[in-house]
C-alpha cells in the first residue's frame, strides 16, 4: 500500500486536472455509475467530532475520516481501495486533497453557471479553503482582478500579496465584505461563519455565487434574500443538502425547495433540460462529497504509481 503525503497531493494534482476530474465524477454520479455516501458525524461531549464519508467511482472506492475540534484544528485521512478486490491501495494525508477537490468542484460549477466573460471576483475568507476557491475560478474564467476580505487585516493582506504573485493577477485586500462583493462577477465565500457574510443588495445582477464554507444545518454564509433573485441554484448533492445545507435550509424548509430553480451539479454536467426562474444571478452551494475525494485520490494514486514505475494489478 502506498502512503501519500500532503506534498505528494499538492505536487501531483494540478487544479485544471482536478476540475476535469470533478466533471467526470459528477457525470458518473448523474449516470448512476458512482455511489456517494453522505457524511456522518460522531459528536463528543468534549467538542471533538469524528466525520466519516465514503464513495465509489470508476475502479475505486474509498473513505475519508477526519476529526475536528473548534479549538484544536482538523486532521484528515483518506484510504483508497480497489473496487474489484477490496484491496487497500493507498493512504493519504488528506488536508490538501480536500482543499483542492473542494475548490475544483466550485471551479466546475463556475464553468457551468457563471458568465463566460466574468473578469472580477470578490472573496470573503482568507483561510485554508479560500486559496483553491480563487485558484479554481481562475482555471475556468478570464478573471483579471480580485478583492479579498476577512476579519484579520494581516491575513487578508498576506493572502492578497501571495495570490497576486502566484496567480499573476491584481488581488487587493479590502476593508469590508461589502467592498469585496460589490461589482464582482463571481462572489466566493469560504468562511467558518454561522450567519450570512454579505447582504443580498451588494450582489450585482448577473453575478455567480460559490458558497463553500458551511456544511451544517445551523450554519450559513448566504443570506435568505439572495435566493429569490436566483435563476438557477445548484448543489453537489440534494440528499446531503437536506440535512447539512444550512444556507438553503435556513432560507426555506426542504419540503418547499421545489419552488426554487434547484438542481444537482450532475444535472448541469449531463446537460439536462432544466427550467430557469426569472432571476438575475446563479448560486452554487458546495457541501463536499466523498465521490470528489475518490476521483481526486485515484488520480494522485495513478500518478504516483507512474512515478514509481509500478503497474496496478
- Helix ranges, 87-141 (H): 95-113, 128-140
DSSP characters for 236-297?
S-HHHHHHH-HHHHTTS-GGGGGGS-EEEHHHHHTT------S-SEEEEE----HHHHHHHH
Strands in 35-43's sheet, in edge-to-edge order, are 2-4, 88-93, 73-82, 60-69, 49-57, 35-43
Active site residues: 64
CA distance 57 to 244: 23
Which of the 8 DSSP states describes residue 34? S
How many residues are present in the chain? Answer: 313
Amino acid at each position: 500500500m502506498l502512503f501519500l503525503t500532503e506534498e505528494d497531493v499538492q505536487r501531483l494534482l494540478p487544479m485544471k486536472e482536478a476540475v476535469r476530474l470533478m466533471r467526470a465524477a459528477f457525470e458518473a454520479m448523474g449516470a448512476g455509475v458512482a455511489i456517494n455516501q453522505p457524511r456522518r458525524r460522531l459528536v463528543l461531549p468534549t467538542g471533538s467530532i469524528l466525520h466519516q464519508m465514503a464513495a465509489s467511482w470508476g475502479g475505486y472506492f474509498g473513505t475519508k475520516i477526519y476529526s475536528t475540534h473548534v479549538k484544536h484544528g482538523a486532521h484528515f485521512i483518506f484510504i483508497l481501495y480497489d473496487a474489484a478486490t477490496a484491496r487497500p491501495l493507498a493512504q493519504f494525508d488528506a488536508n490538501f486533497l480536500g482543499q483542492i477537490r473542494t475548490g475544483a468542484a466550485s471551479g466546475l460549477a463556475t464553468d457551468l453557471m457563471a458568465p463566460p466573460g466574468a473578469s472580477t471576483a470578490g472573496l470573503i475568507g482568507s483561510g485554508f479553503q479560500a486559496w483553491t476557491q480563487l485558484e479554481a475560478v481562475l482555471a475556468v474564467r478570464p478573471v483579471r482582478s480580485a478583492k479579498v476580505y476577512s476579519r484579520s487585516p494581516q491575513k487578508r493582506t498576506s493572502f492578497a500579496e501571495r495570490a497576486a504573485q502566484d496567480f499573476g493577477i491584481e488581488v487587493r485586500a479590502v476593508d469590508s465584505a461589502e467592498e469585496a462583493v460589490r461589482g464582482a462577477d463571481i462572489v466566493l465565500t469560504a468562511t467558518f461563519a454561522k450567519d450570512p457574510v454579505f447582504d443580498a443588495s451588494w450582489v450585482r445582477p448577473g453575478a455567480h455565487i460559490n458558497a463553500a464554507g458551511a456544511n451544517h444545518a445551523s450554519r450559513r454564509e448566504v443570506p435568505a434574500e439572495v435566493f429569490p433573485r436566483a435563476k438557477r441554484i445548484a448543489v453537489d448533492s440534494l440528499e446531503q443538502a437536506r440535512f447539512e445545507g444550512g444556507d438553503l435550509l435556513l432560507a426555506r424548509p426542504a419540503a418547499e425547495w421545489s419552488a426554487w430553480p434547484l438542481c444537482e451539479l450532475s444535472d448541469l454536467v449531463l446537460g439536462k433540460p432544466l427550467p430557469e426562474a426569472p432571476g438575475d444571478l446563479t448560486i452554487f452551494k458546495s457541501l463536499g462529497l466523498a465521490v470528489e475525494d475518490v476521483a481526486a485520490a485515484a488520480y494522485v494514486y495513478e500518478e504516483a504509481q507512474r512515478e514509481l514505475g509500478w503497474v496496478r494489478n
